[in-house]
Amino acid sequence: MKFLNIFNNDNSKETIENGNDYRDMVVDAENSDDAENSDDVMMVTNDSNQVVKPKGLIGEGEVGIFMNEHDKYYHFGKKNGQLYGSVDSLENAKKDIVAVFQRIISQYIVAREDKVAQMNMHIEAFPPNENQLKPKMSVLTLEINKLKEQIELSEKFEGWVKSNVTAYENGFTQGKNETLERLF
């Protein structure tokens, strides 16, 4: 398991930059096996061990909102477990959660691919821009690859979507059990 230390100010490592916003990821310049290519990434908490809100791709915009909706999916699952309680309703709802996630991720991929295409046009129009834009294009390409990987993982209810699917399943099971207790 790799660790993303977002509190590291070590100058021997380079910080990935995307436009004017610095990403939360620190890449070891001597080690090509960076955290972005890892299957398991874990956030390191700050010195007071406070819960740290995810940053970077998983914490920005609609993805960040989706990732923080565990309670919503738990309660939605609990209600559906009480009302319907069938395996089909459980599986359909899980597929719906994945579809919402994939729509959001697909929008992010398209936006990043558009940026890469625009940067390529600027490089073609004025080749000296290449030194400035290639690092940013590399970051965007890494992000695109990570997002595509998340879409593939979501098909198996794994990856970033797993927490919300699991919250829904837990709620569904709780709702179903409460209904059974009440009835029998």
Domain boundaries along the sequence of the chain:
1-44, 65-183
Across the chain, mean pLDDT equals 79
Pick the more confident residue, 45 or 91.
91
Tokens linked to 126: 């004025």
Phi-psi region of 102 (alpha: psi -120 to 50; beta: other; left: phi over 0): alpha
Least Cα distance to 4 among 49, 54, 31, 41 occurs for 41
Q: Indicate the pTM of the whole model.
A: 0.70
- Give 83-96 pLDDT, tens digit per residue: 999 999 999 999 99
Tokens linked to 166: 């699991």
SS3 for 151?
A: helix
Structure confidence at residue 120 as a pLDDT band (50, 70, 90):
very high
Tokens linked to 83: 């009302």
